[in-house]
């Protein structure tokens, strides 16, 4: 009897040790029930899914949050950042210089919730016309990324996507990228460095502009055999648009969703959008457009994403604009996770059929 009890106790002890080891090796498992949005493969679709992914990520931080993004203005998200600072988490953010200087609400909210609470803020190096990566790094083991800027409008009426990632190689490379860009950026009112190099990139599925975004996105488009579905807010990059036309020519069904009018775009940007929509439609791309009216039910198509053959997807900040792959700082990831691929494909199909209309140049 004593032997049986001893063996039972030993087995229980070993089982406890195994469970503890697995939990330490996989911190995401601890979050699985209480923080479901942080599980890799869970796709957040905006505007309908709201801010919960961002709340969960920021609230989960124990030691450090690093943010590199276009706009960081939303007061609800910034309130969670402020709370993280209050519990001793170090927070550093790099925001796009041009947007920061142009948007008074962003300046005011960052002063109130971030720098006023002890966080650190840098403006992107001006060598980048735009610095638009949507990166949130939490401690050493969590990345939140996608196509969404963190302003109030995004959560009201913009179609965007975001997700979490815990891949150690991608995390390591983006940690290096952030520290690199932090070194070459500067606080508001301070002189930035004359240059901004890019840390080495080795991961096959990580796209960082202006270094490898063009080559990897072109290769991604060229791999399409049957279908290629593309979301982009901006157009005008002939290199990428040529690949869409070439895919049509080799028998791929190519569908594109983009806004008919670019929010905040100059007349030149608007004309470039119209010219590109027309050229792509003429080349055989099935072009659908959103707008000009916008609402939560008919959102502005801000997303940058694509799905190939229903098996592989791209999600990130890189668009089909002239500067996105050539001059801007941008980031995207190629994913083979069925839940990410399937989620993007299903939402594309729904938006294509129900929330956009065929682009017919002759009726404008």
Contact partners, residue 28, CB within 8 Å, separation at least 6: 38, 39, 40, 141, 142, 166
CB burial of 94-125 (b: ≥16 within 10 Å; e: otherwise) equals: bbbbbbbeebeebbebbeebbbebebebbbbb
State the Cα–Cα distance between residues 166 and 228, nearest whole angstrom.
27
Give 22: exposed, middle or buried? Use CB within 10 Å, 0-12, 13-18, 19+: exposed
pLDDT of residue 17: 46
CATH 3.40.50.300 fits 206-363, yes or no: no
Q: Low-confidence residues of the chain, pLDDT below 70?
A: 1-34, 362-364
What pLDDT, on the 0 to 100 scale, is given for residue 345?
99
**Domain residue ranges of the chain, discontinuous segments joined by +:** 34-184, 206-363
How much is the pLDDT for 22? 39
CA atoms within 13 A on the CB side of 196: 27
CA 315 to chain CA centroid, nearest Å: 6
Could you give phi then psi for residue 126, rounded to 5 degrees?
Answer: -70, -5
Domains 34-184 and 206-363 fall in the same CATH topology: yes
Assign domain 34-184 to its CATH superfamily: Endonuclease Chain A (3.30.870.10)
Start-to-end CA span in the chain (Å): 88
Span 197-247, pLDDT tens digits: 999 999 899 999 999 999 999 999 999 999 999 999 999 999 999 999 999
Could you tell me the two tokens for 222? 């060229």
Contact assessment for residue 273 and residue 291, using Cβ atoms and an 8 Å cutoff: no
Supply the mean pLDDT for the chain. Answer: 93
Find, among 352, 286, 343, the residue nearest to 313 by Cα. Answer: 343
pLDDT tens profile 72-90:
999 999 999 999 999 999 9
Which residues does 248 contact at the CB level (< 8 Å), separation at least 6?
254, 283, 284, 285
Q: In which region does residue 88 sit, left (phi positive, over 0), alpha (psi from -120 to 50) or beta (all else)?
A: left
């Amino acid at each position: 009897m004593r032997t049986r009890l001893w063996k039972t106790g030993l087995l229980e002890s070993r089982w406890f040790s195994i469970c503890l080891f697995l939990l330490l090796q996989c911190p995401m498992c601890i979050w699985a029930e209480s923080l479901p949005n942080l599980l890799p493969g869970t796709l957040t679709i905006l505007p309908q899914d709201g801010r919960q992914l961002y709340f969960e990520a920021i609230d989960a931080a124990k030691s450090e949050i690093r943010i590199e993004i276009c706009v960081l203005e939303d007061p609800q998200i910034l309130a969670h950042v402020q709370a993280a600072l209050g519990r001793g988490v170090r927070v550093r953010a790099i925001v796009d210089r041009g947007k920061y200087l142009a948007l008074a609400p962003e300046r005011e909210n960052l002063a109130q919730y971030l720098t006023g609470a002890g966080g650190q803020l840098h403006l992107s190096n001006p060598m980048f016309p735009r610095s638009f990566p949507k990166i949130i790094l939490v401690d050493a083991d969590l990345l939140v990324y996608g196509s969404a800027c963190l302003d109030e409008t995004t959560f009201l009426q913009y179609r965007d996507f975001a997700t979490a990632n815990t891949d150690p190689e991608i995390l390591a490379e983006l940690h290096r990228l952030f520290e690199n860009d932090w070194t070459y950026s500067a606080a508001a009112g301070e002189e930035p460095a004359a240059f901004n190099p890019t840390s080495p990139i080795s991961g096959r599925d990580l796209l960082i502009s202006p270094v490898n975004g063009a080559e990897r996105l072109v290769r991604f488009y060229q791999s399409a055999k049957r279908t290629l579905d593309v979301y982009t807010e901006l157009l005008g990059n002939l290199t990428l648009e040529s690949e869409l036309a070439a895919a049509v020519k080799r028998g791929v069904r190519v569908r594109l969703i983009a806004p008919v009018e670019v929010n905040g775009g100059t007349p030149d940007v608007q004309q470039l959008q119209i010219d590109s929509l027309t050229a792509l439609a003429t080349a055989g791309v099935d072009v659908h457009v959103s707008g000009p009216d916008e609402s939560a039910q008919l959102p502005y198509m801000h997303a940058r994403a694509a799905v190939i053959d229903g098996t592989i997807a791209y999600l990130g900040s890189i668009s089909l604009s002239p500067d996105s792959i050539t001059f801007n700082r941008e980031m995207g990831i190629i994913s083979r996770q069925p839940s990410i691929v399937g989620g993007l494909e299903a939402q594309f199909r729904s938006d294509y059929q129900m929330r956009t209309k065929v682009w017919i140049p002759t009726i404008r």
